Structure 1
Amino acid sequence: MGLIREIPDFPKNGILFQDITPLLSNAQAFNVVISHMANSSSEFDYVAGMEARGFIFAASIANQSNRGFIPIRKSGKLPAETHSETYNLEYGADTLEIHKDACAAPSQVLIVDDVLATGGTACAAIRLIEKTGATVQKLVFLLELEELKGRGKILQQFPHMDIESLKKIQ
């Protein structure tokens, strides 16, 4: 994946940011990525994506798979009643929310995001989906930053979670 560039010290010193904008601007490469992510599972009713870059992938996968899209947004951005979860990032803390009526049992949800880093965002998203009564079927990421051990954090809290990353970065 030569279409992902590394930007040092962004958004703050010590962070090596993975810039996916070159991938997004290449229609053929983006389509290949979306197709692979969409075909990683057929056992889901909805695709959930986290704000902001996760929306790009999750909405595209939902469209290609003819499934519903569930936005998981930052605090205060959704208009109806929400569930919320606060979590730690590799460079701070944040809160995510989901509409209480976004989905329900027995729905199966595919959670999609661009990067698996510390696992905090993914764990918050899983807890949010579970609060609706639905079940997370799988997590799919474009990139996984292995040195931050996010996969381990997720599996520690959700031992049977199915996790796929298209590219692992050491």
Structure 2
Amino acid sequence: MSKFINWKSDWFSGNFHLFVDGLQKGAITFGMWTSNAESMFEDKNYQFASEGFWQSRTKVIDKKTNEVLAIITYDSWKSKALISLNTGEQYEWKSTGVWKSQWTVSNYKDEHIMYTSSSNSGAISSDTDNKLLIIAGLFIKQVYNKRAVFVIACIVPIITTTTLRHH
């Protein structure tokens, strides 16, 4: 069964709003200075709690039961992440577009979710109804976006200072 979802994000906060058939069915709300978030999509509510240096892991927690449903592990050198469900299943998140405007979550067997983005909106096409995986794909994208902004914010002043000293 294919599921089609549209999303929009707030540029400044990075929060997402998810729409099915034009109706808002979910949201992801990020903490201001962290990669932690809370989400709801249809009947599911999740908390994303990042931990470790450079926030290298994120626990996905069911807000109703406080059960850890998944662990997301990020590859710091590539735009990849591994979603390990508490059932033992594993899914890979990876960027597939040249401009980081497309990405997928897949187990490379029977579950595959494709994401596309343009500016602050996009679409999701999923052949699974697993809401955790659908939400996790957007969450991971935003984690990598925040990292890129952080790196740029750190590097630009260094380059500017170095350039000005040599003139």
| Structure with higher helix content | 1
| Structure with higher strand content | 2
Larger radius of gyration: 2
TM over 0.5: no
- TM-score, normalization by structure 2: 0.30
